[in-house]
Amino acid sequence: MRFQSHIYTTKLIKPMFEPLIRLSSFLTKEIAEVVRQPRLILSLILGPFLVLLLFGVGYSGDRPLLRTAMVLPESGSEIDPDVLRQLVGTNFTLVEEPLAEEQALDMLRNNALDVVQVLPSDIRQRVLAGEQPSIRFYSNSINPLDEQWIQYLAYAEVNEINKAILLQSTGETQAEARAARDEIAATREQLLALESGLAQSDPQELQASVRRLRDTTGLLLASPFLLRDDAEAADLRAELQQLQSDLTTIDESISNGDLDQQQQRIVATRQRLDTVDEQLALFADLPPQAIVSPLQPAYENLRGAPYDLMTFYIPAVLALLVQHIAVALGSLSIVRERLLGTMEYFRVAPVSMFQMVVGKYLAYTLFVAVIAGVLLALMQVLNIPFAGSPGCLPGYCFCSRWPRSVWAF
C-alpha cells in the first residue's frame, strides 16, 4: 500500500516539477558558462567604466566660449559703446573691434569667429514708428549644442540691450518729469496768487510760467514712457492734454486782458496741476530699474549647490550601460544557440521556447544584478551620488530587457 502511494505521489508531483526542472536547466547552464569566462566578467564590469571615461573625455556640458565681433551701423550706435561692449561681453567673447559686415562674415566662414552680431540703425526712430528692429546673429556651426547655446545667449543679450535702452529712456523721461514738476510748482504758485487776489500777481510773469509749463507738458506727452498702452499712462496723458488745453486758454486770456473771467478755470487748472504733480511725483521718484524690471528672480537650492553635470549623469549612464549589457548578453546567448546548432536539439526535446527564454532571462538577470551590485559598491567608494533608490538599477534592468529578449528570440 505504501509502495502504491509512493508511485501515485511520484506520478502526480513529477509532472508539476518538470517544467521548473527544464527552466532551471537554462538558468544553471548560462550561469556556469558565464562564470567559466572570467575575462568576460571582468570586461563587463570594467567596460562601463571605460565607456564612462570616454564619455567624460568627449563630452563637455559647460558653456562654450564663442568668439564674436560686432557690426555697427554706419550712422553709429545709439547705445553707449562701453555699455554695448559690456553687454555683449557678458555672453560672448569679443575678439575684434567693430568690423564691416562683409569682413566679419568672411572671418566667420573661415572659422576665425563663431558669431557675428549686426546691430540695427536708427533704433529710437524706428521704435517710435512702431517697428521692432532686429540684431542679426550669424553663426557657421555644425554642432547642435553650440547652435542652441548661440540662440540662447543671443536671446539673453538682446534682452539685456533692450533693458539698457529702456533704462536710458526712462531716465530721460524722469528728468523731464522732474523739470515738469518744477514748472508745475511755479505755475501753481502763480495760480494761487491769482486766486487770492489778481492785483498781487504779475500777468507777464504768469504768462511766461504758463507757457513754460505748456512746453514741458508737451515734451512729457511725447515721451515713450507715456506712449504705453496701459490705463495709467492713458489717464496721465488725458490729464496732461486737458492741462495743456487749460493753459492755452489762460495764456490767451492773459493776452486778451480778460483773465478775471477765467476765475473758475484757474481754480480747476490749479487742482489739475495738483493731480498731475502727484502722478509725476510717483513716476519721477521711482528708481529706473524698478520701472524697467519690476520683477527680479530670486533662486535658492535647498540642497546648497547642485552636482556638476558629469557627476549628475554618471548614475543614469551606468544604469543604461548595465541594462544594455543585459540585453546584449541575452540576445547573444540566443544567437549563439542558433550558431551552435543546439536549437535543433531543443526543438526535438520536450522543452518549450518559453522555458528557454525565461531560463536565460533569469540567469542574466541574476548576473546583471551582481554587476549592478559591484557597480553600486564602486559608486559608493568613488563617492558618486545616486538620486533615488539603488534598488531601482537592477529592477530597471530586469524590467527593460524582457521584451527585447523575446524580440531577439
Site residues for another protein per CB under 8 A = 14, 17-19, 21-22, 24-26, 28-29, 32-33, 36-37, 340-342, 344-351
Radius of gyration of the chain (CA): 41
Q: Which three cell numbers stand for residue 119?
A: 546691430
Measured from the CB atom, the residue of 37 and 60 that comes closer to another protein is: 37
Alpha carbon of residue 242 to chain centroid: 46
Measured from the CB atom, the residue of 26 and 137 that comes closer to another protein is: 26
- Sheet with 115-118, strands from edge to edge, namely 93-94, 67-71, 115-118, 136-139
Whole-number minimum distance, CB 35 to another protein, in Å?
A: 9
Whole-number minimum distance, CB 25 to another protein, in Å?
A: 3
The separation between the first and the last C-alpha atoms of the chain, rounded to the nearest angstrom, is 49
CA–CA distance, 327 with 254 (Å, rounded to integer):
97
Whole-number minimum distance, CB 328 to another protein, in Å?
A: 18
Measured from the CB atom, the residue of 8 and 345 that comes closer to another protein is: 345
Whole-number minimum distance, CB 333 to another protein, in Å?
A: 11
Whole-number minimum distance, CB 364 to another protein, in Å?
A: 16
Measured from the CB atom, the residue of 174 and 333 that comes closer to another protein is: 333
Whole-number minimum distance, CB 340 to another protein, in Å?
A: 6
Whole-number minimum distance, CB 355 to another protein, in Å?
A: 8
Measured from the CB atom, the residue of 32 and 145 that comes closer to another protein is: 32
Measured from the CB atom, the residue of 58 and 341 that comes closer to another protein is: 341
Whole-number minimum distance, CB 20 to another protein, in Å?
A: 9
Whole-number minimum distance, CB 353 to another protein, in Å?
A: 12
Whole-number minimum distance, CB 26 to another protein, in Å?
A: 8
Measured from the CB atom, the residue of 136 and 338 that comes closer to another protein is: 338
Measured from the CB atom, the residue of 5 and 301 that comes closer to another protein is: 5
Cα separations in angstroms, 281 against 87, 171, 223, 285: 31, 14, 16, 6
CA–CA distance, 362 with 164 (Å, rounded to integer):
65
CB 226 within 8 A of CB 203: no
Report which residue type is found at 393.
Answer: L
CB 276 within 8 A of CB 184: yes
